[in-house]
Structure 1
Amino acid sequence: MSKSRKTRSSSKSNAATLFNRYVWLVDTIYRAGRITFEEINERWQRSSLNETGEELPLKTFHNHKNAIQQMFDINIECNRKGGYFYYIEHAEDMERGGVRTWLLNTFAVNHLINESHHLKRRILFEEIPSGQRFLTQIIEAMRDNRTLEMSYQSFWNDTPRTFEAAPYCVKVFRQRWYVVACSTSDDRLRIYALDRIRELRTSEHLFILPDDFDPQAYFANSFGIAVDESYKPEQVRVRVSGIQRQYLRTLPLHASQQETEIMNDSSVFEFFLRPTLDFQQELLTHAANTDCQIEVLQPQWLRVEMKQIGLNLVEAHKIVGCKQ
């Protein structure tokens, strides 16, 4: 392995280690509610992340605290009255979803497993391969407002293309990580899957995140990761029968989902979104249950579209009799 490649590998390893330390620190303080630096240091010496059992220097603690504020917008404050207790400012926000909740839940489970070695083989996870190589580097570029030089190969191209883009936000969906980035060549926002990135380099070029860019608003009317402006957001009404109603109730397809009509054997669910191909495929996934029926009531064009998909499936799966 070349010296430059070893250096890059070491840099990625160090970045991943720091990322884990940041999340460990947030999780430790959050679960404690109020905790002194001495207590944090004691827990750090017992942590599975601390392979050597070394102490946590106060300077390192403050560096971590500042990095956490910049990277995750989580403020670790200190109450100097009665013993210098550290706490998470607005800790109630941790229970409202988003990256903070995801980070804490993920780390809490991982930490519990590491501390209970005999349970490791009994707890199974879905793997997200795309997050292993480039996620930390992209988050750091977002933090530092630096553009990325990306070599990217989509499923529709035989060869990768290389370009420069400004990373605005990242999102995980269906076991894949995606980055929303603005191309420096045409100022257009595009969505790139991390598992299709071949090479990635953080440039020295800075960018300014537009004040009016809101990641939540950007995806608000979309199902999953598809932001296809050729589909206009509109009301979609779907009748669902059978046990599938329970699945939609416990795991809504979209933030706008509402159960507006409830009957003995069926319910009507309403959505306001772009009825993209991804959303149509999701409806078909639920319709595959033999004990369930899904009927699109509105809009009419989507009802016709879903009917045609069903007819195409029937035609493709016709059983042709064999001549004796």
Structure 2
Amino acid sequence: MDNRVKFYSWLIGLLDSAHLTFEEIADEWKEAHANQDNNVLDKRTFHRYRENIQSQFGITVECNKSDGYRYYLKRDPVDDDDVTEWMLSSLRLASLGDMLKYHNKVMLDTPPYNTEYLDDILSAIDKQYLLKFKYVSGFGAESDIVLQPAFVRYFKRRWYVVGVKKQRSASEGKANSSAEVDMRKLVRCLPFDRISFLKLICEKHPLPAKMKKFLTPENYYEDCFGIYRMENVPVEKIR
């Protein structure tokens, strides 16, 4: 991992639990496990890295002059920082991987499969493209699917893509977006590890406004527990 990224992750973790002066931060860095090259931290580099942390993670490393020029983390209380925490967690795990190359004292769960599809699926979501792939059901049945992806979710060590399955016209064999079809019945939540031969159909197919509003993580999984949404099951309050 890039030494700069190691420092970003390390500094955020350090200042999450303490307010420190630059001198204290520099001393901590000398002994840090992340500093495997024993680099010395100078002020110019430190301030440049502060700016990078702000631009990349949206976290401000603030200086409190009234507290002896101590640095601390300033987060926006309004922003949802789930994505930021995911990024930081990924960085820490990557850094940990470097440290564990020559150790056998950590036991890990099996990582999620087919994460190589994540970039293409996110690209399709951003560009409003369709996805075409082969899908194998839990019963072993294979089918060709064209999906209009809306968002992805990571749940219990599996990646899922949630979107609208496109109907096919019997006469033309093309994806059909007829308004007569109840699109909610065509929403699918599909795990990456059952997908193969994924391709992007590089033509814009935007979701209708109502479906776009419905197919957000917050709205789709409202009042749900688990990964699958059951449309015909009424919401039940549990005291």
Tell me whether the two structures share a fold, i.e. TM-score over 0.5: yes
Measured in 2, the distance between the counterparts of 1:217 and 1:29 equals 35
Do the aligned residues in 1 keep the contact of 2:149 with 2:164 (CA within 8 Å)? Answer: yes
* Equivalent in the alignment of 2:144: 161
Counterparts of residues 49-64 of structure 1 (less than 5 Å): none
Structure 2 residue corresponding to 1:201, chosen from 199, 202, 206: 199
Q: Which amino acid aligns with 2:132?
A: M
CA apart distance, 1:179: 1.1
Residue correspondence of structure 1 range 171-210 to structure 2 within 5 A: 171-173=154-156, 175-184=157-166, 185-186=176-177, 187=183, 188-206=186-204, 207=206, 210=212
Note closer, same or farther for the CA distance 1:221–1:131 as it changes in structure 2 (3 Å cut).
farther
5+ residue gaps, structure 2: 27-31, 38-47, 66-70, 167-175, 178-182
TM-score (structure 2 length as normaliser): 0.56
Deviation string, structure 1 residues 131-168 (Cα, Å, up to 9, x no partner): 433123323433x3332422132324633213142232
Identity across aligned pairs (percent)?
17
Could you say which structure has the greater relative contact order, defined with CA pairs below 8 angstroms and 6 or more residues apart? 2
- TM-score normalised by the chain length of structure 1: 0.44
Give the match for residue 225 of structure 2. Answer: 223
CA offset at residue 191 of structure 1? 0.6
- Map Cα deviations across residues 220-242 of structure 1 (whole Å, 9 max, x no partner): 3222111111222213xxxxxxx
What are the superposed Cα offsets for residues 240-262 of structure 1, whole Å, 9 maximum, x if unpaired?
A: xxxxxxxxxxxxxxxxxxxxxxx
CA distance in structure 2 between the aligned counterparts of 1:154 and 1:160, rounded to whole angstroms: 7
Q: Secondary structure at the match of 1:228?
A: coil
Distance 1:47 1:93 in 2: 34
Deviations 1:48-102 (A, max 9, x none): 9xxxxxxxxx9xx97x987x5xxxxx435687999xx9977428968x7x34333
Q: Is 1:151 matched with 2:128?
A: no
More helix by share: 1
What amino acid does structure 2 have at the position aligned with 1:220?
E
Contact 1:29-1:86 at 8 Å conserved across structures: no
CA RMSD of aligned residues (A): 4.6
Shift of 1:200: 1.6
DSSP-derived class of the 1:135 partner: helix
Structure 1 residue runs without a partner (length 5+): 1-16, 49-57, 69-73, 236-269, 272-324
Shift in CA distance, 27/205, structure 1 to aligned 2, threshold 3 Å: farther
- Distance in 1 separating the partners of 2:233 and 2:4: 40
Q: CA deviation at 1:109?
A: 3.5
Per the alignment, in what secondary structure is the counterpart of residue 116 of structure 2? coil
Alpha carbons of 1:220 and 1:135: their partners in 2 closer, same or farther (altered >3 Å)? same
SS at match of 1:130: coil
- State the SS of the aligned residue for 1:122: coil
